[in-house]
A and B are shown apart, each in its own frame.
Chain A
Amino acid sequence: MSKRLLKFIVNGRKAEVAVEPHHTLASVLRNELNLTGTKVGCDMGTCGCCTVHVDGKAKLSCLTLALECQGTEILTIEALNEYEMHPLQRAFAECGGSQCGYCTPGFIMKSCELLERNPDPTREEIKEALAGNLCRCTGFMKIYDAVEQAAGELRKKEAPQPTPLKV
């Protein structure tokens, strides 16, 4: 198969990559753009480790073909730590929401989408939002603590949502 040119915006930067039609978004982010913060745990949509935002919506990048993202805006875990660490990232570290850390970027990206939609979620709403993400270390309790702490902090500060650099 021949490569096609994928043009999209990743973490606020224009990117042009020649990709095979069967390449996933996860593989292009990790292998072509060196954004290895996005993890691949199962490569079949069962663990949520590879969650990124495509046009503001959380998606499993292992189940998304790269060429489906033509012209979209992608946000990965790396974008949340530009200039300032995102409250979710700090909260996951401080509340013990991350142990081995492999699932953490996916959990944070999914939580980030939740808080953009719902700045004051109940624990049940957090559970529901994170139901597709698998953590083998924490038993989830401290992840919920982290999301609640970050939500409180974001509300208190009325902190701006993580907008990437303008193109």
Chain B
Amino acid sequence: MPTISGSGETKNEHQLNKGVWTDNGAPAAAGFSVIGKRVPLKDAYRKVTGEGVYADDMKFPGMLYSRILHAEKAHAKIKRIDTSKAEALPGVRAVVTGNDAANRFGVLPVSQDELSMAREKVIYNGEPVAAVAADTEEIAAEAIWLIDVEYEPLEEFLKPRDSLKDVSPELQIHDKVEKKHPNTNIHKAVDQEFGDVEGAFKQAEAIVSAEFKFDGISHGFTEPHAIVAHWDADDRLQLYTPQQVPHYTHRALAKVLELPMHRIQVIRTMVGGGFGGKSDPFQHEMIASLLSMKTRRPVKLTMDREETFLTGRGRHPTEGKLAMAFDKEGKLTALDSDIIIDGGAYGSFGVVSAYYNGVLSNGPYWMPAFRYHGKRVYSNRIPSGAMRGHGSVNPRFCTETLMDMAAVKLGLDPCELRLRNFLPSNTLTPYHKFRITSNGIREGLAEAMRRSEWKKKWGKLPYGHGIGVGCAWYISGSALPIHWNKLPQSTVHIKIDMDGGVTVHSLAAEIGQGSDTMLAQCVAEVIGCSLERVHVKSTTTDTAPIDLGSYSSRVTFMAGNAARKAAESIRAQLAAAASRLTGQPAQYFDFAGEEVICRSKPDVRVTFMEALHGAQADIGALIASGSYQAPPLGTTFKGSNAGLSPSYSFSAFICELKVDPDTGFVQPLKIWAAHDCGRALNPLAVEGQIEGSVHMGLGQALTEQLRYRGAQLLNGNFLDYKIPTPFDTPEIEAIIVESADPEGPFGAKECGEGALAPIIPAVGNAIYDAVGVRMFEVPMTPDRVLRAIDAKKRAETKGE
């Protein structure tokens, strides 16, 4: 039975008077000593003091500074690049162009379509064309304007539907496109149909359908892209980069620079926010490396905010037409979904996005029949990619809005309709065979309803004041790795020497979500030591075992499990030592509170340090390795791997808001956000993830949009790209629902991404409750809300 806790019920009273990082005396989950404790993040004290080192904080002797020249055309042949004037500027040490690196790269092996810098043609306004390394940043900035590029414009593809057309090879943005549509700019098409969709719609009691549109949005992380590359005296490349996935950058660097991977070391600096926007291997990483290899000097490249926006990889602009059928009991009988997503200039994670936009609609409801036609197209816009909730967020708005419309048609409470359709625990979805283990969504929705007083409010609040619901699910890591091989998806090493420090090595990237702390908790729990003993080293490819990094909400599940396994191996070594020291059998020992205690005779015990030194006697430092690989899952049709995950999180949100009918302005009042994360290893971090997801989702719901004039981004700054401020953010009550997953580390699933999607439809549905209009375009800006209210008024007047 899932249990409920969260920010509405608990406060931080225990966290006082601590000068250094320490266990803070908070209670652990029942049966555990550090799992379930509200602990501060391991690296938080470095962050609050300014000691933490981000890439732009780094300085090396002899360091050069780099700037990039970005394309000023969206689709054009490069007739000529003349860098001679830039090279002649005093202080300029090197200039590179597309001619310096011919090899293509990209995060997915199936879409290797990026170049370090454009060659022959540019494909979006903002694409890197050339770059300069100079003694100062000012000289570099001056030099890029001395680079002369002559373009011959080509027809631009700025609307996703234009990319569906057959065109001449010259007008294809990339050579390699979807095989089914060889003469178009379609990157990937997915067509799936399961069950009797037509029949379900024919027999339906209620059919709801609508067309939806979503603007592109950006991750908006606060740290602009910044890196330092250093081709060192040993002829090795050292790349300091705030990467969510150092491993994919490592692979891409090797390919582009034509170096074996071991001659490259990727060092993750502190990451000032990622949200998916720092998970591709990037052109600027290649560019700084090329410049450093040319000059044999360290090269720093720091982008400004606009360049960071232009680098992109945000959520795909999306257009969709979706329909749902229901029987008279309110059971969902079919979903028919047709979606086009605008991938922009590159493939990025797009093949995955094309699948996720469809297959992740097979939950959190039981789906008896399912049809999906999805297309991801190339366009001459800023590249889209993976952003928090990757591929699930926009279609989730569509299906949750349709659920609400169906509830109205069927005369049911929207929450009741959802409760009738939720997937059960311990089941397989009918066609994709997604394996649902634990599922606390019923308890979550019930709790959100209780706390929000849903039954008293829904349909009963005065005009302009409304309440709405949205539900969602998400993967806890993709079961299929991006590079298809038999290597583990996560490996964790532990080393303990006589100093008693427990060093945990991993390449799971700490990006502020608390993964270092999570690893430390998993290890400390197993070997019974204090958290402050555990030091996590997760930055450096030379010392860290490979991990596929921080994306797809995989870290807690996969790296956490690897850490637990490594710690279990250490525990066995300590137990053997305790056995030798006490004469009791090794399997009789418990580990907790820095002691190794004989289970049957609790007064027979040794300290952690005694056991450690005992174990070290003949072998020196204790070392252990643990790894994780997802179990075999799913079925065999083409594309059936997409969406497979060892477990799924579930969320149910309720939003109360006000709409000003005269201005269309929407003011959220309160959000109740129930999220089933399996087990909250660190409730403080889980609440932080839920609250942060809600805030980010609110931005997409109400204010955030990438706006263009033609191909030119208009709002590449935080003044015009409107992220919710404290005044725009209502109180968020995070409700943690715990439903232990049988395979997750200590029962944990995910909480970093799944908690984003439900807030957007909850806002839309609350707007309907407030003023009676359905919003089909996101963000739901005042002008759009007002237009909908006006249209409704006009229709009503006509009707009279």
Known: A34-B59, A37-B50, A134-B723. A100 touches B18 (CB 8 A): no
The minimal Cβ–Cβ distance linking B274 to chain A, given in whole angstroms, is 8
Number of A-B contacts (CB under 8 A): 192
Known: A101-B47, A127-B727. A46 touches B223 (CB 8 A): no
Chain A residues whose C-beta falls within 8 Å of the C-beta of B719 in the assembled complex: 44, 46
A113-B719 Cα distance, complex, nearest whole Å? 24
0 or 1 for each of B220-246: is its CB under 8 Å from A? (1 = yes): 111110000000000000000000000
CB <8 Å contact, B685 and A43: no
Chain B residues whose C-beta falls within 8 Å of the C-beta of A92 in the assembled complex: 44, 48
CB <8 Å contact, A137 and B304: no
Contact surface of A with B, Cβ cutoff 8 Å? 30, 34-44, 46-47, 49, 76-78, 80-81, 84-85, 88-96, 98-105, 108, 127-128, 130-142, 145, 149, 153
B512 interfacial by beta-carbon distance below 8 Å: yes
A69-B687 Cα distance, complex, nearest whole Å? 41
Known: A44-B305, A140-B726, A149-B12. A102 touches B222 (CB 8 A): yes
The minimal Cβ–Cβ distance linking A110 to chain B, given in whole angstroms, is 11
Chain B residues whose C-beta falls within 8 Å of the C-beta of A133 in the assembled complex: 726
Q: Which of A81, A100, A131 contacts B222 (CB 8 A)?
A: A100
CB <8 Å contact, B56 and A140: no
Chain A residues whose C-beta falls within 8 Å of the C-beta of B24 in the assembled complex: 94
Chain A residues whose C-beta falls within 8 Å of the C-beta of B691 in the assembled complex: 138-142
CB <8 Å contact, A100 and B512: yes
- Which among B24, B43, B272, B684 has the highest number of chain A CB atoms within 10 Å? B272
B30 interfacial by beta-carbon distance below 8 Å: no
CB <8 Å contact, B19 and A90: yes
0 or 1 for each of B674-691: is its CB under 8 Å from A? (1 = yes): 000000000011011001
Known: A41-B223, A78-B50, A99-B512. A93 touches B272 (CB 8 A): no
A26-B632 Cα distance, complex, nearest whole Å? 53
Chain A residues whose C-beta falls within 8 Å of the C-beta of B47 in the assembled complex: 93, 98, 100-101, 104
Q: Which of B18, B49, B718 contacts A47 (CB 8 A)?
A: B718
CB <8 Å contact, B305 and A142: no
CB <8 Å contact, A40 and B19: no
B329 interfacial by beta-carbon distance below 8 Å: no
A135-B685 Cα distance, complex, nearest whole Å? 16
B16 interfacial by beta-carbon distance below 8 Å: yes
CB <8 Å contact, A81 and B49: yes
CB <8 Å contact, B273 and A137: yes
B91 interfacial by beta-carbon distance below 8 Å: no
CB <8 Å contact, B688 and A137: yes
CB <8 Å contact, B223 and A42: no
B652 interfacial by beta-carbon distance below 8 Å: no
Which residues of B (43-91) have their CB < 8 Å from a CB of A? 43-54, 56-57, 59
CB <8 Å contact, A101 and B731: no
CB <8 Å contact, B41 and A153: no
A12-B717 Cα distance, complex, nearest whole Å? 35
Q: Which of A84, A93, A135, A139 contacts B44 (CB 8 A)?
A: A93
A134-B696 Cα distance, complex, nearest whole Å? 12
A111-B695 Cα distance, complex, nearest whole Å? 21
- Which among B24, B44, B53 has the highest number of chain A CB atoms within 10 Å? B44
Between-chain CB contacts (< 8 Å), 26 pairs: A34-B59, A37-B49, A37-B50, A40-B56, A44-B305, A46-B717, A47-B222, A84-B19, A91-B15, A94-B16, A94-B18, A96-B688, A99-B513, A100-B47, A101-B48, A103-B222, A105-B48, A108-B48, A131-B726, A134-B723, A136-B221, A136-B222, A136-B273, A136-B275, A139-B695, A145-B12
A161-B50 Cα distance, complex, nearest whole Å? 19
The minimal Cβ–Cβ distance linking A50 to chain B, given in whole angstroms, is 11
In the A-B complex, the 7 residue pairs with the closest CB atoms: A37-B50, A101-B47, A100-B512, A102-B272, A139-B695, A139-B691, A93-B44
A99-B513 Cα distance, complex, nearest whole Å? 6
- Which among A43, A102, A133, A142 has the highest number of chain B CB atoms within 10 Å? A102
B555 interfacial by beta-carbon distance below 8 Å: no
A101-B511 Cα distance, complex, nearest whole Å? 9
0 or 1 for each of B2-27: is its CB under 8 Å from A? (1 = yes): 00000100011001101101001000
Chain B residues whose C-beta falls within 8 Å of the C-beta of A138 in the assembled complex: 688, 691-692, 695
A145-B40 Cα distance, complex, nearest whole Å? 14
Q: Nearest chain-B residue to A42 (Cβ)?
A: B305
A36-B51 Cα distance, complex, nearest whole Å? 8
Chain B residues whose C-beta falls within 8 Å of the C-beta of A84 in the assembled complex: 19
CB <8 Å contact, A101 and B727: no
Known: A100-B271, A140-B726. A85 touches B49 (CB 8 A): yes
The minimal Cβ–Cβ distance linking A9 to chain B, given in whole angstroms, is 18
CB <8 Å contact, B717 and A96: no
B429 interfacial by beta-carbon distance below 8 Å: no
CB <8 Å contact, B223 and A93: no
* Size of the chain B interface, CB-CB below 8 angstroms: 65
A34-B56 Cα distance, complex, nearest whole Å? 11
Chain A residues whose C-beta falls within 8 Å of the C-beta of B19 in the assembled complex: 84-85, 90
A111-B40 Cα distance, complex, nearest whole Å? 20
Known: A96-B684, A104-B47. A90 touches B41 (CB 8 A): no
Q: Nearest chain-A residue to B304 (Cβ)?
A: A43
Q: Nearest chain-A residue to B58 (Cβ)?
A: A36
The minimal Cβ–Cβ distance linking A128 to chain B, given in whole angstroms, is 8
A138-B693 Cα distance, complex, nearest whole Å? 8
Known: A100-B272, A130-B726. A135 touches B694 (CB 8 A): no
CB <8 Å contact, B726 and A100: no
The minimal Cβ–Cβ distance linking A72 to chain B, given in whole angstroms, is 20
A138-B732 Cα distance, complex, nearest whole Å? 11
The minimal Cβ–Cβ distance linking A78 to chain B, given in whole angstroms, is 5
Q: Nearest chain-A residue to B693 (Cβ)?
A: A139
Chain A residues whose C-beta falls within 8 Å of the C-beta of B52 in the assembled complex: 101
Apart from the given pairs A96-B687, A131-B727, A136-B692, 11 other A-B contacts in the complex at a CB distance below 8 Å: A37-B49, A40-B56, A81-B49, A85-B45, A89-B45, A99-B273, A134-B723, A136-B273, A136-B275, A137-B692, A142-B687
Chain B residues whose C-beta falls within 8 Å of the C-beta of A139 in the assembled complex: 688, 691-696, 729, 732
CB <8 Å contact, A140 and B40: no
- Which among A35, A99, A104, A134 has the highest number of chain B CB atoms within 10 Å? A99
Chain B residues whose C-beta falls within 8 Å of the C-beta of A145 in the assembled complex: 11-12
The minimal Cβ–Cβ distance linking A160 to chain B, given in whole angstroms, is 17
B636 interfacial by beta-carbon distance below 8 Å: no
B335 interfacial by beta-carbon distance below 8 Å: no
Q: Nearest chain-B residue to A30 (Cβ)?
A: B57
A103-B50 Cα distance, complex, nearest whole Å? 10
CB <8 Å contact, A99 and B222: no
Chain B residues whose C-beta falls within 8 Å of the C-beta of A99 in the assembled complex: 41, 273, 512-514, 688, 692
CB <8 Å contact, A98 and B48: yes
CB <8 Å contact, A101 and B512: yes
Chain A residues whose C-beta falls within 8 Å of the C-beta of B305 in the assembled complex: 41-44
B190 interfacial by beta-carbon distance below 8 Å: no
Chain A residues whose C-beta falls within 8 Å of the C-beta of B685 in the assembled complex: 96
The minimal Cβ–Cβ distance linking A27 to chain B, given in whole angstroms, is 9
- Which among A41, A76, A80 has the highest number of chain B CB atoms within 10 Å? A41
Chain A residues whose C-beta falls within 8 Å of the C-beta of B684 in the assembled complex: 95-96, 142
CB <8 Å contact, B718 and A102: no
B725 interfacial by beta-carbon distance below 8 Å: yes
The minimal Cβ–Cβ distance linking A119 to chain B, given in whole angstroms, is 17
Chain A residues whose C-beta falls within 8 Å of the C-beta of B512 in the assembled complex: 99-101, 137
B96 interfacial by beta-carbon distance below 8 Å: no
Chain B residues whose C-beta falls within 8 Å of the C-beta of A141 in the assembled complex: 7, 687, 691, 731-732, 734
CB <8 Å contact, A94 and B12: yes
- Which among A35, A36, A101, A145 has the highest number of chain B CB atoms within 10 Å? A101
B654 interfacial by beta-carbon distance below 8 Å: no
B748 interfacial by beta-carbon distance below 8 Å: no
Q: Which of B16, B43, B54, B729 contacts A140 (CB 8 A)?
A: B729
A85-B725 Cα distance, complex, nearest whole Å? 28
CB <8 Å contact, A136 and B7: no
The minimal Cβ–Cβ distance linking B68 to chain A, given in whole angstroms, is 16
